[in-house]
Amino acid sequence: MKAKIKIAIADDHLLFRKGLAQLLADDIFNIQIQADNGKDLIDQLTKNPDIQVVLMDVNMPIMNGFEATEWIKQNMPKVKVLALTMSDADMDVIKMIRSGAKGYLLKDSEIFTLKSAIVELAEKGFFHSEMISSKLMNTMSEESEESRNQRILASLAPHELDYIKYACSDMSHKEIGIKVGMSHRTIDGYRDSVYAKTGLTSRVGLVLFAIKNGIFKI
């Protein structure tokens, strides 16, 4: 029999955490850790380093999901983090991915979607949810994604590549403009040209494109 996937759940809502653990209790998953904040999670992970997947809430007291995920990336890189949260805010998605999360899923998802995400994380190392990867999966007719991305990268001007790198930060367009000595309208223009060339329509999609194609490294 195939070994069960060892899971940790970090969520400060007790009823949700325990209910989720019960829903996942089957012959595929083994819930070994339940933590109510990031610090509690880390304390338990250091005593149980065999955990494969962490289901991580974003907003928690004492230590939030961003901080806990960053710690895992630095200290236990084999552990895969799946953000499981109510927040669909672009900057939360971006920040979790930059912190080291390998997938992002909303709490109102179907249980079979969550189970599939956990299996994909354990087996492939990354979960491509529709929320963060649909735009990356769009390809032109009779053109592979790889060749399309190479064509897009070749079309990007240096200032557009610089904009993409800054877009992977927490800075607003106004803050980016101040840093590079340009107006936020100019930065908006760079964004529009990048979106037109890549076919993307959101900052989240752009960050995933940048990570996937080596423009920005986490």
Per-domain residue ranges for the chain? 5-127, 134-212
pLDDT tens over the chain, length 218 residues: 578 999 999 999 999 999 999 999 888 999 999 999 999 999 999 999 899 999 999 999 999 999 999 999 999 999 999 999 998 777 788 788 888 898 899 999 899 999 999 999 999 888 876 666 543 443 333 345 677 778 888 889 999 999 999 999 988 999 999 988 999 889 999 999 999 888 888 888 899 889 888 898 76
Mark 185-218 as b/e (b = at least 16 C-beta within 10 Å): ebbeebbebbbeebebebbbbbbbbbbebebbee
User: What class does CATH assign to 5-127?
Assistant: alpha beta
Q: What is the pLDDT of residues 71-116, one digit of tens each?
A: 999 999 999 999 999 987 777 887 888 888 988 999 998 999 999 9
Task: Count Cβ atoms within 10 A of the Cβ of residue 14 and give its class: 0-12 exposed, 13-18 middle, 19 or more buried.
Answer: exposed
Which CATH number is 134-212's, of 3.20.20.370, 1.10.10.10, 3.40.50.720, 3.40.50.150?
1.10.10.10
Q: For the chain, give the mean pLDDT.
A: 87
